[in-house]
Structure 1
């Protein structure tokens, strides 16, 4: 390996490490962080994209993976964006009396915004943290689903969880996402994917809450395909391909 090849390899490894922490870095940010030109970064990203290590996006890149960081790590990322998304999502719940809430960093922000609502709601969730946040509101009937514990994500799952979900029809499900593309939403954790799919199936409508880092990505298990009964709340304008697909399927999009 030549000296130049070695430098490039180290730079490629560094780019992948950076994208693992922040999955939606801009070219300008990567160039500044690695102390190289934007043109060098663009060439590196093109090579990593060709190798399947990343997926190029407008102005940057995202790392391709079927895995997500642990919830405790994700809670530190995109906090302001997720707070805006949560506030906008709660505004869509006017008149909603019953609700499923999924797990994840963004849905936890939704729970924090939702607990100040001054009316009765029945809320079912598989997430321990979401249940604890919402239980602080005495007007809410909060039902924590039974099942096997998935400690890293703070969720329950399994056959007992799915049976319980099947007994409750709700007005709306609020769902986070590991990945969002022009087809729909996918989830990295198989055990969670089954729970989320069941929740969506028992709701009249679904609101997906996802920040910009999830856009244009695919993950392990598809949990939702876009349709006229779904809404997406995000923090940045969508790419042309995704925007056109959602518009054609009647999906309501709100930019927080």
Structure 2
């Protein structure tokens, strides 16, 4: 059973029973206890259930306690199906042994869950949630960037984080942004913009994970022009002005469909 399908079955059981033990889940789903525990870590980090020692329970409104009540928790519920589709399609870019940066975002959090079925990845991230999800799966190597800690998104930012990013090199970056425009990538947070810019300078290829709602938003801070982006992965093709600008810069578009997603 694929990780996504396992997760859906676990969530259904937890929601149906209210609270269930690891032993019960393993028995009902025919899975090992180790696999169940790993899946519960992932589902807790993405806010779908609340994990406790020995089991899991439902969470109010589908948001687990660690997500808190701030803007990040609200964004986690927006366009969730589209974000999950994008995350699962983006997995096709990777092969075992790849190295990648993941910045903090709702779609990259789902992407971290989606890569659990791969092996031998090296993941560098400034998100403690993403680090926990990836570290729970297979034999991945995970580096958590330090720096000033932001509680809402469970991320590190600031000068120290940027300095640590500059010590790494990776094949890919998978980034989320606040807005997509003909000029390139835009965001609403200056510190997160600095993190993304630092990552872009340390990789061979930049992949941007953005659902179609980002096409209609107007950001404040310029992250990067299209000339620095290798691939945009979205749930639908970008509008013509953006598509034309991307084509001129040589940026590819991968439209996530049910067929393209794992």
- Check whether TM > 0.5: yes
Cα root mean square deviation, aligned = 1.4
Partner in structure 2 of residue 178 of structure 1: 178
CA contact (8 A) 2:208 2:229 kept: no
The Cα of 1:176 is off from its aligned counterpart by 0.5
CA contact (8 A) 1:186 1:219 kept: yes
Structure 2 Cα separation of the partners of residues 228 and 100 of structure 1: 15
Structure 2 Cα separation of the partners of residues 216 and 204 of structure 1: 28
The Cα of 1:95 is off from its aligned counterpart by 5.9
Q: CA 1:167 to 1:218, structure 2 compared with 1: closer, same or farther past 3 Å? A: same
Partner in structure 2 of residue 199 of structure 1: 199
Structure 1 Cα separation of the partners of residues 96 and 140 of structure 2: 14
Q: How does 1:119-130 map to 2 (within 5 A)?
A: 119-130=119-130
Partner in structure 1 of residue 90 of structure 2: 89
Aligned length: 187
Aligned: 1:218 with 2:218: yes
Structure 1 Cα separation of the partners of residues 190 and 227 of structure 2: 23
Structure 2 Cα separation of the partners of residues 87 and 234 of structure 1: 11
Structure 2 Cα separation of the partners of residues 210 and 96 of structure 1: 25
Q: How does 1:22-171 map to 2 (within 5 A)?
A: 70-94=71-95, 97-117=98-118, 119-171=119-171
Q: CA 1:228 to 1:128, structure 2 compared with 1: closer, same or farther past 3 Å? A: closer
Q: CA 1:128 to 1:204, structure 2 compared with 1: closer, same or farther past 3 Å? A: same
Aligned: 1:253 with 2:253: yes
The Cα of 1:138 is off from its aligned counterpart by 3.4
Give SS of 1:111's match. helix
The Cα of 1:253 is off from its aligned counterpart by 0.2
Q: Unpaired runs of 5+ in structure 2?
A: 1-69, 257-262
Give SS of 1:227's match. helix
CA contact (8 A) 1:204 1:229 kept: no
Stretch of structure 1 that moved more, 215-224 or 141-150: 215-224
CA contact (8 A) 1:216 1:242 kept: no
Q: Unpaired runs of 5+ in structure 1?
A: 1-68
Partner in structure 1 of residue 42 of structure 2: none
Structure 2 Cα separation of the partners of residues 97 and 148 of structure 1: 28
Give SS of 2:227's match. coil
Structure 1 Cα separation of the partners of residues 160 and 249 of structure 2: 34
* TM-score (normalizing by structure 2): 0.69
Deviation track 1:193-229 (CA, whole Å, cap 9, x = no partner) reads: 1111101110111000000100143212111211265
Give SS of 2:117's match. coil
Structure 2 Cα separation of the partners of residues 171 and 96 of structure 1: 10
Q: Which has the larger radius of gyration?
A: 1
Deviation track 1:35-91 (CA, whole Å, cap 9, x = no partner) reads: xxxxxxxxxxxxxxxxxxxxxxxxxxxxxxxxxx71100111111101110011110
Give SS of 2:165's match. helix
CA contact (8 A) 1:96 1:172 kept: no
Q: Where in structure 1 do 4 or more consecutive aligned residues deviate above 6 Å?
A: none
